[in-house]
Amino acid sequence: MKFDFIYVSIIIIILNIHLSAQNKNYAELIKVIGGHSSRVRSLAVLPNGNLASGSDDSSIIIWNSEDGSLIRKLRGHSSPVYSMVVFPSGHLASGSWDNTIKIWNPNDGSLLKTLTGHTSFIFALAILSDGYLASGSSDQTIKIWNPWDTHEGSLIQTLTGHAGYVNS
């Protein structure tokens, strides 16, 4: 199957990867879904099996991964959504080029809180073993957050000393 470049950037291709002992490894195209108006930058699988996609169009779409249908569109960022991570609770964190991290309830689409503190694009997010959230930015820092501490969340620590962007 051949895709024009512009269409590859705004669709999600779901593959079933087959690995066999007979070295007949192959991928089978299961589904192609589209709904963003620009490039998809990040994907995250939710605990219920749904798929979240973050895009240059500043939105997050929650997809039914079984049939490819659009469940809801999350809007709140003003720039591309570059990274996402799912908490054990099922909440979704998104990092954007608007320098913010947003925490969402993907089940109803509600925006729970916005974490601010970075001075440039957020490229990476990770959940730490203690439940804290780590964020990497083009401001050359890693910030450690307790997103549940207060209504706004709290910044625990800023790690400095990187010579360039922090991304993954």
pLDDT tens digit sequence for 60-113: 999 998 888 999 999 999 999 999 999 999 999 999 999 999 999 999 999 999
CA 131/CA 17 separation, integer angstroms: 32
Q: Name residue, tokens 């997010």.
A: 125
Query: Average pLDDT, whole number, for the chain?
Result: 86
Ranking 52-56, 76-80, 145-149, 162-166 by mean pLDDT, the lowest is: 162-166
Task: Look at residue 94 and give its three-state secondary structure.
Answer: strand
| Least confident span in 4-18, 35-49, 114-128, 140-154 | 4-18
- Between 2 and 12, the higher pLDDT residue: 12
Q: How far apart are CA 16 and CA 154, in angstroms?
A: 40
Partner residues linked to 42 by β-bridges: 54
What's the rounded Cα separation, in Å, for the pair 102 and 115? 6
> The pTM is what?
0.84
- Beta partners for residue 86, in sequence order: 92
In the predicted model, is pLDDT for residue 33 greater than 60? Answer: yes
Answer with the residue of higher pLDDT: 26 or 8: 26
What percent of the chain clears pLDDT 90, i.e. is strictly above it?
64
Residue 14 and residue 65 in contact, taking contact as beta carbons nearer than 8 Å: yes
pLDDT at residue number 1: 40
Q: What is d(CA 103, CA 114) in angstroms, rounded to the nearest whole number?
A: 6
pLDDT interval class at 54 (50, 70, 90): very high
